Amino acid sequence: MYKVFVNDIPIIISTKEEIGEKYTSFPLKKVRLKKVIRKILKGKLLYVNLYHPDETELLKLLLKKMKVVTAAGGMVVNAKKEILFIYRNHRWDLPKGKTEKNESIEQSAIREVEEETGVQDLEIKRFITRTFHVFKRKGKLRLKETYWYEMYTEYDGELIPEQSEGIKKAKWKNFEKSQKALTKSYANIKMLFPEKYLAGQPEDRVA
């Protein structure tokens, strides 16, 4: 199963035709995805399930439906177990950005985190997951596929938010402050954190 977020409303991508009475189901292979998204944006649809019986085909079929923009980013943890957040568009977010030609996804993730926050000496610890969300570019709907990595740094210098990208703040946040930030974040960002963490139980590993 996958989730594609339209604002904070998830479109479910699954192998089951029926997942609940509230959901309107469409066959993934035939659905006009942009039409469905526009209905969601207008408030005419809230619960959507796109289904296909073969789980191995779900992602391939999804990525054929819209033009895809690939991005990468990081959940950065320091020696104090603080997490690096950015503040943009009145929401707390994690640093990420579009991948460039001739660089790996991992290189993109590190570069974007450095550019957006000014942090240095990043080390990728592990891959977390991929998230999907819909956005508009020049009036056209696009699907953003973001690769997320857990990163570590002992950098304790100044953080410099990339103002040209609309980032107002870059802040290290401890567990309590992270909890508060996540209440003003995005649904796809919350997916990167374990349920226990979101429920107020700190863990050695936050992702």
199 has a pLDDT exceeding 90: no
Domain limit, last residue, from 65, 85, 104: 65
Q: What is the CATH number of the domain that holds 184?
A: 3.90.79.10
126 and 30 housed in the same domain: no
Q: Is residue 205 one of the residues assigned to a domain? A: no
Q: What's the pLDDT tens digit per position in 5-31?
A: 999 999 999 999 999 999 999 999 999
Name every residue whose Cβ is closer than 8 Å to that of residue 118 and which is 6 or more positions away in sequence. 157, 158, 159, 160, 161, 162, 170
Q: Are 87 and 64 in contact (CB under 8 A)?
A: no
The verdict on residue 15 lying in a domain is: yes
CA angle, residues 129, 119, 151, in degrees to nearest 5: 30
Of 27, 47, 65, the residue that ends a domain is 65
Distance CA(205)–CA(207), nearest Å, equals: 6
Instruction: Give pTM, 2 decimals.
Output: 0.91
Specify if 99 maps to a domain: yes
Tell me if 92 is assigned to some domain: yes
**What confidence tens digit (pLDDT) does each residue in 137-151 have?**
888 999 999 999 999
- Please report, to the nearest 10 degrees, the dihedral formed by the alpha carbons of residues 187, 129, 4, 84 taken in order: 30
Asked if 135 contacts 163 with a C-beta cutoff of 8 angstroms, the reply is no
pLDDT computed for residue 165 by the predictor: 95
Closest CA to 98 of 191, 165, 3, 184: 165
Q: Quick one: 21 and 121 in the same domain?
A: no
Query: Domain total for the chain?
Result: 2
125 and 189 inside one domain: yes
**Last residue in a domain, options 49, 65, 81:** 65
- Residue 66 has which token pair? 């819209």
Task: Determine the structural domain holding residue 24 and report its residue range.
Answer: 2-65
Q: Is residue 206 part of a domain?
A: no
Determine phi and psi for 7, rounding to 5 degrees: 55, -120
Do residues 32 and 130 both lie within one domain? no
Which run of H or of E encompasses 49?
Answer: strand 48-51
The answer to whether residues 13 and 81 belong to one domain is: no
> Is 24 a member of any domain?
yes
